[in-house]
Structures are given as C-alpha cells and as structure tokens.
Amino acid sequence: MNAFMARLAIAALSATLDLAGLLPAVLHPGKRVNHALRDVRDASRGRWLERRVIESRWQSFVLQQYVLGLDESEMRVFFEERVRYEGSTWPLDERRPLILAAPHYGASGVGFLAAVHRMHRRRPINLFIDAGIPTRQLTALFEVAGLDLSRLMSGFAGSVEAARALRRGECLIMMPDVFSHGCQTLVVPFFGRLMRVAAATAFLALRTGAIVVPVFATPGANLTLRVLVDTPIDARRFAGDDDQQKIFMLTQALFARFESVFRFAPEHWHGWERLPGSSTPVDPAYRLDYDEPLRVLRAKCEALPHLVQEIPELDLIRKEHVWIRPR
Amino acid sequence: MFRHVARWFARARSVQHALETLLPAPENTLVILPSTRSALALARRLCDFRICGVTAGPITTQGIWRLARHVRAPQEIVIACTDFAELQFIVISFPDQIVGNEVTFAPIPFLGSSHWFSTFEAALVVKHRPRVYALQSDSLVQIRYDDVLHSLPDLMARLLRPLELELMDPPADWLAARCLTQKSESGVRSRMREDLKEIECLLRLHARSVGCDRLKTSTAIAAVVSRLKMLGAQ
C-alpha cells in the first residue's frame, strides 16, 4: 500500500465515521469494546469511544500495511521523519539486558520496529511469545526492515533460551497481555478487577537482572507514529522477598503502568473485548484501589466457604484485625 | 430439512402432551428438564397456567425466556415448601445449568465421568415425595424412586437418568453445554484453580500492607501456592 492510498484509506474512514456507526457490533470493534466495558467500574464508555476505537484500529491497520510496502531504505526514512519518540529513551541505549514490554496497543508491531531502530539496531532481537499466538505480520515487518528476529516459544526450552539471550546482551520483545493458555498465568489488579496475565516477563527479568521498558505505539492521522517509552522497571529493586512475591510485584508494577496509559487513551488497547473473560470483578462494596486488600479478601473467602474449609490458614487471615487507613 | 420439520412437530406434540399431563393433576409435581429452547418454552407455558417455581441459573434468568417472575434460587424453593408436607407449587428444575461444588452439591457419574450436581431435587423428593417427571426423547416420563430413597447418590442418579439419556445425543437447541463442562471434575478444578489464584493475588497485596501479620500471611500464601501446585497451576 503506497502513501497516497494509505492516506486515502484513513481519510475515507474519518469521513464515514457516522456511517460506520450503523455497522453491527460484529463488524464494529468500537461497539464490541463499549459492550465489554459495561461491567468495568469507572470505565469511560460512550459513542465517542466507539468512534475512537474504530479510528485507532483502522489507522493502525493502514499504517502497518503501509510500512509492509516499504523497502529497507524507505523504512529508515519513515522512522526518522514520521516517528515521534516521547518519554525517556535512554533505556534503549542501556547495555544491560533489556526487555521491551509492549501491550497489544495501537500499532504495536510498527512500534517494536521503531524501538529497535532507536537502539540503532545494535542488539539482536528475540520475540518471546506464546506458541498459540500468530506472529506472521510481525515477522513480515521485521523481514521488510532487514532485521533478524528470533522467535522463542513460551515453555521451558523457550524460557531457557530467552534467559541466555538476555545474558548475552540481546533484546527481548514480549507482550505480557497476550497469552493463549490460562494455566500459566497469575492474577494482578487491573482496572479494579482481578485479571489474569502472563508471568513470563517478570520471571525472565528477575532471572537475568534485566530492565523492563514499557513501550506504547499509537498511530496518527497522517501516517505518523507516536512511540512512548515509559520509565523502565528495574528488576533489581525488588529485593528481599521470595521469588514468587518478586514476580507478583514486578508484574503488578508493569500492569499499573499499562493501566495509567490505558486510562488516558483507552481507544488503542486491543484487549478490551477479552477483559471480561480474563478477569473477575471485585465485590461492588469494595474497591481494590482504595480498600485494604484484606477487606476484599474477606469478602472473597465468605463467598467461597468450601475453599476456606480446605485451606484453614485462610481462616486465620480472615480473622486478622483490619487497619483502616485514614483517607 | 424434513428432519427438522419432523422434529419441530414432534416437539410441539410433546409440549402439548406434557401440558395435558401436568396441568390437570391436582397435586404439585417436580419436573426435571434439560436447558433446551423447547423445554424453556414448556416451562413458560406451565407458568402461564399454574403457580410454578423455576430454578434460577445463568440460562433461566435471561430475559428472553420471560421467566423472571417465576425464577427462584433453589434454596428459596426449599425454604418456601419446608413447612408443608407437599410442594406448594410446581417445581421446574433445569439441573444442567446450575454450577457449583459447595456442600449442597454432590458428584455423580454422568455421561461417563463425574459431574457435580445440586442435591436440590433429591432434597425435595425426600421431604415431600412428589411425583417427578422428566423430558426424555420429546416425551414426558414419570420417574419412580421409592427403591432408591435410602441412598443419595442412587437417588440423584435415578432422577437425572432421563437428562443423561437426553444429553447423550444433545438436541440442537440445548443451551447448557458450557455449564455442563464447568460441572465436570476438570471444570471444577479449573474454577478452583482460578479462585485460588485470585486469593493468592489478594494475599500478596496484603503482604505489602502496613500492619500485616507477616507470619500468618506468608503461611496462608504458602498453603495456597501448595494447593495450586496440586491442581497443576504452577
């Protein structure tokens, strides 16, 4: 797709957004997102979100198709002239093991390429992803850019190879909000809900002392890309606790970053439709962000008495005194 | 196409036959139905003519079936009839939609593997000894249970046998496939695993709170993690 056709495609959608509103939900991602958010507390919803979602998805798709049509030299020009980097880009120049943690947000595939370009292509790139997730588009993007991309499958062998790659100083790309199997997940708070997420990012970061850099790439209307490189999360600062607690805390910190960006611009995240299926709401009488977790835990235990019977240690926690933090 | 038309006529006839059997009977009965569109339509017709209590579940509570005024939780039905020798209304139960593994549920062999079903129907039968009917192969059959009253698993198996036979070759309009998967042993383990993961998350958040009893919290976390490993989650 050349630049003219890409701009025409974007302009066509902008001109027909009102007509697009007549599409049924099966063809309108904005309506599906709006519907998925109906049970999410404090979620921004409405017609404006529907329009922005379909606009974002279309712009991301067109941008990706446009970049796929470039050759290597044109792509360098694209990254120099059409990509705006924001945030602290110094982590990309770090020599330490580096994990780029990008959610499925906006034009994430092109965003990975932009981040690699910003690192002046100094490091070999590895993509660590679940075996069940298709990566054809991402692989094609890297091929067009003339970059070697090693694909590592999740699982024991893939994790070992990923750790080795990090220790060699290579870069690892991961998408912590994308997984195909719910078994190897842990639960963290996210938008006031308890959401299942992949634990591999935190696991590899702690094993290798890597820095985790959240990256968000959002498309612009004129075939531009905005890449936000968020403040890195240093795995070395999670010291003192046992491994499982460190994995939980690092994952929670990472998803807290995701949440803050998604609250500001929710239309770009591709995971809203999955959120009701991959998370559970907290009892409406409580809030994970305000309440002490103990109060939420008590409500959970009262709703699941058979679990408390099986695990008597939970009963001791239920009876623990609740310290009410003054607000 | 002819098979579908023939099936439609058979269903319509079976609904009519069921209404002719159930409506004139002076006593209130227990009716055990699969969660199919035609059975839900039968329940709706019954509710039009007699006072009925329909067990609440993820399917019967959907507005499309217009059963909202008649839907009650199983415990509510039991409590409403507890002071009386007989059922106070026709009880229509859809056991395949009700998911749980608390003390009011029991595992019984069903479709070749263990599934957790509510003991609600058995409790009503033991207390009130009503006539029990079930839908099987588009016809209403009466379930005899006098010889199995001494054993809860046998009684439950007897009451659910027509449902089991019906679901060996599930009708095209059966709506509770996902619910039945959650009632299986693997479904119950999966739900327990997810509940424990959430409890682990809350415990780990609590471990960082000021004033947290670290010994109790770390002990509880260790117990939950150990249980998760047994369930194959870590």
List, for residues B145-157, the tens digit of each pLDDT value.
Answer: 999 999 999 999 9
Q: Do B202 and A300 touch (CB under 8 A)?
A: yes
For position B53, what pLDDT does the model report? 93
pLDDT tens per residue across span B41-58? 999 999 998 899 999 999
Biggest CA pair distance of chain B: 72
Chain A residue with the nearest C-alpha to that of B211? A323
A 269-288 residues with CB < 8 A to B = 280, 288
Mutation to test the B interface, candidates A241, A248, A251, most B Cβ within 10 Å: A248
Q: What is the dihedral of CA A239, A243, A249, A251, to 10 degrees?
A: 130
pLDDT under 50 in chain B at which residues?
234
What is the predicted ipTM?
A: 0.86
Nearest by CB to residue B199, choosing from A196, A314, A325, is A314
> Which spans in chain A are helix H?
3-15, 17-20, 29-36, 47-68, 72-81, 108-118, 136-144, 156-167, 200-208, 243-264, 275-278, 293-303, 305-310, 313-318
For position A131, what pLDDT does the model report? 66
- C-alpha distances (whole Å) from B150 to each of B95, B121, B136, B145, B153 are 21, 15, 25, 10, 9
Cβ–Cβ under 8 Å, residues A116 and A81: no
Q: Do B210 and A186 touch (CB under 8 A)?
A: no
Q: Are strands A98-101 and A211-219 parallel, antiparallel or unpaired?
A: parallel
Cβ–Cβ under 8 Å, residues B198 and A187: yes
Mutation to test the B interface, candidates A297, A301, A318, most B Cβ within 10 Å: A297
Closest Cα of chain B to A257: distance in Å?
17
For position A130, what pLDDT does the model report? 73
Cβ–Cβ under 8 Å, residues A159 and A241: no
For position A180, what pLDDT does the model report? 67
Question: Which of A192, A191, A193, A158 has the alpha carbon at shortest distance from A174?
Answer: A158
B 146-205 residues with CB < 8 A to A = 192-205
Q: What is the count of residue pairs from A and B with beta carbons less than 8 Å apart?
A: 97
Residue A154 amino acid letter: S
- C-alpha distances (whole Å) from B59 to each of B34, B39, B54, B94, B175 are 11, 12, 11, 9, 8
B 40-79 residues with CB < 8 A to A = none
- C-alpha distances (whole Å) from A56 to each of A17, A46, A60, B82, B223 are 12, 16, 6, 59, 45
CA distance A208 to A166: 7
For position A196, what pLDDT does the model report? 92
Contact list in A for residue B211 (CB cut-off 8 A) is: 321, 323
Phi and psi of A16, rounded to 5°?
Answer: -115, 25
Q: Which residues contact B31 (CB under 8 A, 6 or more apart)?
A: B22, B43, B46, B90, B91, B92, B93, B132, B133, B134, B135
Q: What six digits make up the tokens of A35?
A: 């519907």
B207 close contact with A: CB closer than 8 A: yes
For position A132, what pLDDT does the model report? 67
Cβ–Cβ under 8 Å, residues A52 and A30: yes
Q: State the CB neighbour count (10 A cutoff) for residue B100.
A: 16
- C-alpha distances (whole Å) from A14 to each of A20, A29, A55, A311 are 10, 15, 7, 56
- Percent helix / strand / coil, chain A, rounded to 5: 50, 15, 35
For position B94, what pLDDT does the model report? 95
Question: Which of A112, A98, A302, A74 has the alpha carbon at shortest distance from A208?
Answer: A98
For position B147, what pLDDT does the model report? 92
Place of tokens 């708070």: A189
Q: Within 13 Å and on the Cβ side, how many CA atoms surround A14?
A: 11
Q: Do A316 and B220 touch (CB under 8 A)?
A: yes
B101 close contact with A: CB closer than 8 A: yes
Question: Which of B86, B124, B90, B66 has the alpha carbon at shortest distance from B18?
Answer: B90
Q: Are strands B30-32 and B90-93 parallel, antiparallel or unpaired?
A: parallel
Give, for all 327 residues of chain A, the pLDDT tens digit: 777 777 777 777 777 777 777 778 788 888 888 888 887 877 778 888 888 898 899 889 889 888 888 888 888 888 888 899 988 777 777 778 889 998 989 888 888 888 888 877 667 888 887 766 667 777 777 877 777 777 777 777 888 888 888 888 888 888 888 776 666 789 999 988 899 998 889 999 999 989 999 999 999 878 889 999 899 999 888 877 788 999 999 999 999 999 999 998 999 999 998 888 888 888 777 777 666 788 888 888 888 888 888 888 888 777 765 555 554
- C-alpha distances (whole Å) from A233 to each of A213, A288, B110 are 6, 22, 51
Question: Which of B24, B15, B35 has the alpha carbon at shortest distance from B140?
Answer: B15
CA distance B180 to A116: 48
